[in-house]
Amino acid sequence: MKKNIKPFIQVFSRRSGLYLASILVLFLMIGILTTVQPAYRFSSTILSDWTRNIDELVFYNMLGMENRAYKSSFPDDEELPKLSNIFFQLATNIQPSDPRSLLGNELPGFSIYDSQILMASGDDNHFTSFPIESNPPLEEVLKDREAVVEEDVDEELPPEEDVEQTTGDRDVVFLYTTHNRESFLPHLPGVEDPNSAMHAEINISKVSERLGQSLERKGIGTYVDKTDFGQQLNEQGKKYHQSYEVSREAVETAFSGNKDIQYVFDLHRDALRRDKTTIEIDGESYAKLIFVVGTAHANYEENMKTATELNALIEEKYPGLSRGIYPKDGSNGNGVYNQDVSGNALLIEFGGVDNTMEELYRSADALAEVFSEYYWDAEEVSNP
């Protein structure tokens, strides 16, 4: 029996054997912990948080032992993590290469950076460029301010197109803006504080209108909700952080009154500054986009799938325009964002406080172009 086993053992290197042994011990421990009495059992969340600290290269290496094709895809200069580092991370929940794993547990407020951006493009997309949501007092949101925007900006729509496909009189896209008064500093003379970049008319809702117009020109019927949710909050005596409770009523009303709605997009403006939210493409300046997917509801994978597919198409046609996909749970913020109403409901951040309407409109037109291709391809698959 030993003679039969010996040739197989020799296939694995000593180091690979150690990795395999450590992982087998880990899974054995998990098996024991999950089969004991419930009172002494670790929760699945604890186990998930614990095991996620294992470097993914360990698992890739294990697969490579069985199928060498996996190893062939590794960069030549990629080194496997040391076994001591793996056990250190498992024991302490600290990753030496990521200061967030230590500081996030010690400094108040720092834990908000314990997240990730999925499918980010470019080297400037990391934890310092996570979306920042303004949360000023409601009185600051409703304050009267002067706003300036060139009159011809709204008139510079893309030329009319002869579309081959159309949804007819059906509105299949619903656009709304939960934080509808989010505005932009270049259009607010004398305002410098990002938290004060709010206005009743010159705001993110104009970008929503532009996106709706561009989608209509692509033959996609779109309903643009123009509710002033900021004013509704004031009338109902609610706080700014309750915005999604108010906007949810509009979304549910739209669904109940229109069975044709297939996609729901909630447009926002990031509070990040210009260097993180702007890109030049073919000599033109664009406001970057980022998809926010709330993961604090059961069916968020469907929303993630939609965001992933759209993000890939944007990256293909307008490289760098999208900052990626930002999954966000309920530990710091809403975490649902009304996305539980549909698997095709997304929150899309357009630019930041320093972007101009010209830049924002270019991005809206680009998104409409990409989405129209995505939509009609999906229609052909559904109705061959």
Model confidence pLDDT, tens digit, residues 30-78: 665 555 454 444 444 444 555 555 555 566 666 666 666 656 655 555 5
Taking the alpha carbons of 228, 223, 207, 134 in that order, is the dihedral positive or negative?
positive
- Secondary structure class of 290 (helix, strand, coil): strand
Q: Which domains are present in the chain?
A: 2-97 (no CATH), 138-382 (3.40.630)
Identity of the residue numbered 63: L
Cβ-contact 327, 304 below 8 angstroms: yes
Q: Is the pTM of this model over 0.75?
A: no
Q: What is the pLDDT of residue 164?
A: 81
Residue range 334-347, pLDDT digits in tens: 899 999 999 999 99
Best CA proximity match to 232, nearest among 250, 219, 215, 218: 250
